[in-house]
Amino acid sequence: MKKYRFTLFVFTLICISSSYNTDEYRIALGDRICIVKKTITQANALTLIALHDNENTAIEAFQSWTQQLNINLLELHQSDDRYLKCRYNNRDYCFDPNQVFSEKGIHNTLYEKNSSCPPELVRIIKAFADTLLNVFLNARYHQYMIAIHNNSPENFSVLSYKNSSNATAVFISKNEDIDDFYIVTDTSDFEYFKNMNLNVVLQSKDAEEDGSLSVYCQQNQIPYINIEAEHGHLNKQIEMIKIVYDLVSEKKG
Ligand SMILES: [Zn+2]
């Protein structure tokens, strides 16, 4: 019995030591809070960024791979909605967290999502975005910023970039679903995915300044990859994460 207890104790210890650490940053949004949930499987490993709180296939894909890949996750969380809310003078104002990385983007998303908006709000969201960027920049792996997103068939696909001034090049594979694709800022990464016959967009250096993380990275010479898959395409998104992991690991050498 004693031996059994000891074995159980050792087994429990191994389980604890092989599980990952979670931590969180709490960032103020007026009188509300946005949480950045941080899941660390290994210090200084490749980190994925999930900006939209309702895109859960991407999170499941990450969770399916943590043990094998040693990747980390930074995930924005407030109320499981795509949009975040900032509470100011007892009123909630909505905005898209993927439009806050420039003043123009903040202004556009606030005035698009709310019927009216006090000008002070731009400053509050800008402070939020600056804190968020610091967290993201500190978590980079081999300089890369890697985002994960999900889309629905009716709203966004690799075809959205066809003949668009936001893309320098677009490769559309005959074998792939148009909703599963990569967006990159580096030409050699574009070629890498293209050679694997996977859908990929090379974002233009003159892409519209919409406050997105992809445009921020492009303007600041930070290599960026978005792993974009349709909601529910779990196995595909796991495969896509694995390919990015191999690409960035190879580059790091
Ligand atoms: Zn998204």
pLDDT tens digits for range 21-42? 888 999 999 999 999 999 988 8
pLDDT at res. 101:
98
Residue 60 lies in a domain: yes
The whole-angstrom separation of Cα 194 and Cα 169 is 11
User: 54: pLDDT confidence band, cut at 50, 70 and 90?
Assistant: very high
Q: How far is the CA of 150 from the centre of ligand 1 (A)?
A: 6
Task: Compute how many other C-beta atoms are within 10 angstroms of the C-beta atom of residue 94.
Answer: 15
Distance 151 CA to ligand 1 centre (A): 7
Distance 6 CA to ligand 1 centre (A): 47
Centroid of ligand 1 to alpha carbon of 170 (angstroms): 20
Asked if residue 4 is part of any domain, the answer here is: no
What is the 7 CA–ligand 1 centroid distance (Å)?
45
Q: Is residue 7 in a domain?
A: no
Q: Is residue 67 part of a domain?
A: yes
Q: Please report whether residue 18 resides in a domain.
A: no
Q: By mean pLDDT, which of 52-66, 103-117, 161-175, 226-240 is the weakest? A: 52-66
Q: How far is the CA of 12 from the centre of ligand 1 (A)?
A: 37
- 235 within domain boundaries: yes
Termini Cα distance of the chain: 49
pLDDT, residue 18, reads 45
Name the pLDDT band for 19 (thresholds 50, 70, 90).
low
- Cβ proximity of 221 and 239 under 8 Å: no
Say how many Å lie between the CA of residue 214 and the centre of ligand 1: 12
Output 217-222 pairs: Cβ under 8 A, ≥24 positions apart.
Answer: 217/145, 217/185, 218/185, 222/140, 222/143, 222/144, 222/145, 222/185
Instruction: Tell how far the Cα of 237 is from the centroid of ligand 1, in angstroms.
Output: 13
At residue 58 the predicted structure's pLDDT band, cuts being 50, 70 and 90, is very high
The strand pair at 72-77 and 32-40 is best described as: antiparallel
- 145 located within any domain: yes
* Containing structural domain, residue 192: 23-252
Do the domain assignments include residue 239? Answer: yes
Number of domains making up the chain? 1
| CATH number of the domain to which 86 belongs | 3.40.630
Question: Would you place residue 234 in the very low, low, confident or very high pLDDT band (cuts 50, 70, 90)?
Answer: very high
- Per residue in 74-98, pLDDT tens? 999 999 999 999 999 999 999 999 9
Return the residue matching tokens 């993201």: 136
22 CA to centre of ligand 1 in angstroms: 22
d(CA 168, CA 171): 10
* Total-model pTM: 0.90
The token pair at 201 is 């967009």
Mean pLDDT of the chain, nearest integer: 91
Query: Cα of 195 to ligand 1 centre, how many Å?
Result: 26
Instruction: Say how many Å lie between the CA of residue 152 and the centre of ligand 1.
Output: 10
Q: How far is the CA of 219 from the centre of ligand 1 (A)?
A: 20
User: What is the helix (H) or strand (E) element at residue 204, kind and residue range?
Assistant: none
